[in-house]
Amino acid sequence: MTENKREDDLGKTQELFDFLQGKVPEGYRIPESEMPKLTADQAWTVVWYLGNLYWQVPDYIERCDVCGDLFDSNSEGTCLDYGDAPYDFCGACEDGEDAEEKRRSPENPEQDSDDASP
Residue 117 confidence (pLDDT): 47
Residue 1 confidence (pLDDT): 58
Residue 49 confidence (pLDDT): 93
User: In angstroms, rounded to a whole number, what is the distance separating the alpha carbons of residues 37 and 58?
Assistant: 23
Residue 81 confidence (pLDDT): 85
| pTM of the full structure | 0.73
- Grouped pLDDT means (10 residues each) for the chain, 118 residues: 77 95 93 94 95 86 95 94 86 93 84 52
8 Å CB contact between 22 and 4: no
Residue 45 confidence (pLDDT): 95
Residue 112 confidence (pLDDT): 59
